[in-house]
Structure 1
Amino acid sequence: MAFPLIRHVRAFVVRGGGADYHDQGEGHWIDDHIATPMSRYPEYRQSRQSFGINVLGTLVVEIEAMDGTIGFAVTTGGEPAAYIVEKHLARFLEGRAPNEIEKIWDQMYFSTQYYGRKGLVVNAISGVDLALWDLMGKLRGEPVHHLLGGAVRDELTFYATGARPDLAKSLGFIGGKMPLHHGPAEGEEGMRKNIEELATMRDRVGEDFWLMFDCWMSLDLNYATRLAHKAHEYGLKWIEEALSPDDYWGYRDLKANAPKGMLVTTGEHEATRWGFRMLLEMDCCDIIQPDVGWCGGMTELIKISALADARGVMVIPHGSSVYSYHFVVTRHNSPFAEFLMMAPKADKVVPMFQPLLMREPVPVNGRLKVPDTPGFGVTLNPDVPLHRPYTH
């Protein structure tokens, strides 16, 4: 089957929600005294926005084929990532066949390796790669999960991330992951408050509902180990991203010293098969959590998942809505998925990337059938203004 060649690549930015889900209004639970690496500074402790977590905004990548078909995807990166897409990456797509996905990824990654490898550059590559998968699905008239080999289950099962696991249980989720609110700089009082919050939630949800802590890279090894052992009394299922993503040695030791039966998870801020190879070969965790919009896109997530599968490690992607749903439904080593509760009070189910995407599916009673519409099955909301800061 011959596909129309790629005519043009465009990169846009947008502010307020979307893929940059931290870019929320005042009073949202996602910005309420959550432990971070910056919590050691009192002036940046109350709000993550205070130290700039939302400065980049959302990146939207469009890839248009010669027949007018447009694939698109969203991730974070904002204007700096848009510059990289327009001024550097576009050359590896325009005039090429859209099914040359592996070659295009390889050229994007290795041409930027001298200033990229992780972070912002790989976010940009991820956005382009996901838009390419969306385009291919639309050109073939198939959902992306068909292109990935087809579903291995009828529906997805979800746990919820948010400030109210007790409400998540009432909404049908299998577990609730809470933000850790106090880090090492807040001393023993902060530790006590963390455990008290866990104990309160355990009383509310009962014994069988999963409870987890999302530590967002905020702890040191000693604190994380102590927290894990104190939390074990209340049946904490896992401790997530406790340390800096570069501290492979710390994760190795945390996993070795965690209470028996408690899982150590990480990888949200890791990128590419090489980064995850370190986590896996050093036995750093029980679950890896790549974000398909940050780790290198769908093309790279396939490779990362294969490495994990060979080692018996689960792959539970971080957030990323439809972009991860299409992947999770096709993999046995991804038995459930994450849903980010983006309602300000974490009290109802709303689309993760609102208001940017239309037809974005959400779980009902904690479950979801992945749509069979072509590509990723979503469209851009025409009422959300996009800005194209650069052209080529």
Structure 2
Amino acid sequence: MAVPIIKHVRAFTVRGGGADYHDQGRDHWIDDNISTPMSKYPAYRESRQSFGINVLGTLVVEIETDTGVTGFAVTTGGEIGAFIVEKHLARFCEGRPVTDIEIMWDQMFNGTLYYGRRGIVLNAISGVDLALWDLLGQVRQEPVYAMIGGPVRDELQFYATGARPDLAKDMGFIGGKMAVQHGPAQGKDGMVAELTRLEKMRNAVGEDFWLMFDCWMSLDVNYATKLATAAHDYGLKWIEEALPPDDYWGYAELRRNVPRGMMVTTGEHEATRWGFRLLLEMECCDILQPDVGWCGGLTELLKISALADAHNKMVVPHGSSVYSYHFVITRHNSPFSEFLMMAPKADEVVPMFSPMLLDEPIPVNGRMKVPDRPGFGVRLSPDLDLNRPYDH
């Protein structure tokens, strides 16, 4: 049987949640008083949206074959990403068999190397790559996880990222990760407030429930070391993304300095096998946390995972809904998953990319079986206000 040929690549934008999960309404925990690299400026301290964390919006990539089969994926990228997909990346896909994913990735990456390498360009490449995998699954009528090796466990187990680890415990999650609210600019008083909050949460959840700190690139080595040392008394499991992503030397120093048994994790804002190679070879962390929608897509995540496996490191992707579930269920070095609590008060489990996707699975009692449906197993909601700002 002839292999279908890619006929059309289209890029759309949409606002209000979805893949750009920071694009939420007011009074959502994900925007409320979280330490960031901009927290040194009081005007931008209380809200991440104040400095523009939600300016991009969601990028939707749709790919159609000459037989009328379509696949799609979503990531962060908005209009800038849509321009890159339509005006540059589409040429490397249209006219090719749906099975040629590896060469399409290589040409997209090398064709944008002079202005890309990471950031918004890698977001766009990731969106195309994920759409290609979804398309191949639709053509073959197989779930993505079956095409990349098959499951190594029966179900996924999750920790929750949100403002209320105590509620997450009641919902059956294995741990809760809180956003750090104070950074170096708030000095000793800020650190005391952070530790007081951690102590209160530890008392609420008991000794065995995981608690972690997400620092979102906002600390320095000295502050992060002091915070980790003090937090060890309250059983902090790991300190995440404490430093700017390019400070590999700082991460290596931090990992040497944290209390024995505490892990250092990072990689959410890293990209490609080359970036993660630095994290591994410089011994920067214990767990890699690539986002499959930002690091280069599933094609690149598989390479990152193999590299990590050779270094005996875990890969626990940053929360990215079905796009990471299909990966995690197939990897021995990915023993659990992250779930972002997207309810405004983090008090209930709702689909992570709501309202974009139909059939998006959610954990029940902190666990989930990955649905046995073609591709990534989700559909784009017909109610979305999609905009196609460019064509080719």
* Same fold by TM-score greater than 0.5: yes
Superposed, 1:110-259 pairs within 5 Å as 110-259=110-259
**CA-to-partner distance for each residue in 1:51-103, whole Å, 9 max, x for gaps?**
00000000000000111110000000100000000000000011110110100
**Deviation beyond 4 Å, 4+ runs, structure 1:** none
Per-residue deviation, 1:385: 1.1
The answer for the alignment partner of 1:267 in structure 2 is 267
Instruction: Name stretches of at least 5 consecutive residues in structure 2 with no aligned partner.
Output: none
Alignment partner of 1:39: what SS?
A: coil
Mapped to 2, the partners of 1:100 and 1:347 lie a distance apart of 43
Mapped to 2, the partners of 1:220 and 1:2 lie a distance apart of 56
The answer for the alignment partner of 1:355 in structure 2 is 355
Per-residue deviation, 1:166: 0.2
The answer for the alignment partner of 2:47 in structure 1 is 47
Mapped to 1, the partners of 2:98 and 2:194 lie a distance apart of 49
Alignment partner of 2:82: what SS?
A: helix
Mapped to 2, the partners of 1:4 and 1:30 lie a distance apart of 42
The answer for the alignment partner of 2:280 in structure 1 is 280
Mapped to 1, the partners of 2:148 and 2:163 lie a distance apart of 34
**CA-to-partner distance for each residue in 1:10-32, whole Å, 9 max, x for gaps?**
00000000100000000000011
Superposed, 1:10-159 pairs within 5 Å as 10-159=10-159
Tell me the TM-score normalised to structure 1 length.
1.00
Instruction: Name stretches of at least 5 consecutive residues in structure 1 with no aligned partner.
Output: none
Alignment partner of 1:233: what SS?
A: helix
Code of the residue aligned with 1:111 in structure 2: it is G
Mapped to 2, the partners of 1:2 and 1:338 lie a distance apart of 39
Superposed, 1:371-390 pairs within 5 Å as 371-390=371-390
**CA-to-partner distance for each residue in 1:244-296, whole Å, 9 max, x for gaps?**
00000000000001100000000000000000000000000000000000000
Alignment partner of 1:160: what SS?
A: strand
Code of the residue aligned with 2:243 in structure 1: it is L
Mapped to 2, the partners of 1:148 and 1:201 lie a distance apart of 39
Alignment partner of 1:237: what SS?
A: strand
**CA-to-partner distance for each residue in 1:94-126, whole Å, 9 max, x for gaps?**
111011010000000000000000000000000
Mapped to 1, the partners of 2:226 and 2:205 lie a distance apart of 24
**CA-to-partner distance for each residue in 1:177-204, whole Å, 9 max, x for gaps?**
0000011101111000110110000000
The answer for the alignment partner of 2:339 in structure 1 is 339
Alignment partner of 1:177: what SS?
A: strand
Per-residue deviation, 1:2: 3.1
The answer for the alignment partner of 1:319 in structure 2 is 319
RMSD (Å) for aligned C-alpha atoms: 0.4
Mapped to 2, the partners of 1:262 and 1:4 lie a distance apart of 50
**CA-to-partner distance for each residue in 1:280-332, whole Å, 9 max, x for gaps?**
00000000000000000000000000000001100000000000000000000
Aligned length: 392
